[in-house]
């Protein structure tokens, strides 16, 4: 998944280099716009198959509302056994020293890719909960390296939110939501 302009550039490079990428499915999507879940499924993503979804080195370049849209869309495609893995060392404001963070931000801005988010651990926890994910406990070493993993929470889309996220596409996921959140019960 890449921004349409970035993906067009990458595909052009792959073609010029003569690399066979016929086994790879490319999805062009602007993460600032809704519809990623639909785009993934339209390109063959199997919502009922457990997946490892990775967002490596991307969150720091997205603002918080866009990260929310991304997490919502990925949660809509999740089923039991799915995990969302992402790096947050550059995202978490408390992670690197302020000087190191400033050097990083200056370097990526100079390269034309400004950092757009500084999610601390509490903000990240709230964002995961709001987008129906829960953190999976990892080793202290993995945490220091900035690796985070989340699993789906089986809460129906909407669940009191003002703007309803995309509904769960997985039949197994919808069953889990009904199992844990039956209407008309205490």
What's the CA gap between 23 and 31, in Å, rounded?
A: 24
CB atoms within 10 A of CB 100: 11
Quickly state the pLDDT bin for 1 (edges 50, 70, 90).
very high
Residues 12-52 have pLDDT tens digits of: 999 999 999 999 999 999 999 999 999 999 999 999 999 99
Q: Count Cβ atoms within 10 A of the Cβ of residue 186 and give its class: 0-12 exposed, 13-18 middle, 19 or more buried.
A: exposed
User: Residue 53 is inside which H or E element, if any?
Assistant: strand 52-55
The whole-model pTM stands at: 0.86
What's the CA gap between 145 and 130, in Å, rounded?
A: 24
Residues 105-114 have pLDDT tens digits of: 888 889 888 8
Question: What is the mean predicted confidence (pLDDT) over 67-86?
Answer: 96
């Amino acid at each position: 998944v890449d921004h349409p302009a970035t993906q067009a550039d990458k595909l052009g490079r792959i073609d010029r280099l003569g690399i066979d990428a016929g086994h790879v499915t490319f999805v062009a999507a602007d993460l600032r716009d809704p519809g990623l879940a639909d785009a993934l499924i339209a390109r063959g993503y199997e919502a009922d198959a457990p997946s490892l979804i990775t967002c490596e080195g991307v969150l720091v370049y997205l603002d918080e509302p866009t990260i929310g849209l991304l997490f919502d869309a990925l949660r809509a495609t999740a089923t039991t056994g799915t995990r969302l893995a992402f790096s947050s060392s550059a995202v978490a404001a408390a992670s690197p020293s302020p000087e190191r963070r400033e050097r990083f931000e200056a370097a990526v801005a100079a390269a034309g890719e400004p950092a757009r988010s500084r999610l601390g651990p509490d903000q990240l926890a709230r964002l995961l909960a709001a987008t129906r994910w829960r953190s999976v406990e990892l080793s202290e070493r993995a945490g220091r390296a900035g690796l985070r993993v989340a699993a789906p929470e089986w809460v129906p889309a909407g669940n009191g939110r003002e703007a309803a996220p995309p509904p769960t596409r997985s039949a197994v996921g919808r069953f889990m939501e009904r199992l844990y959140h039956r209407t008309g019960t205490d």
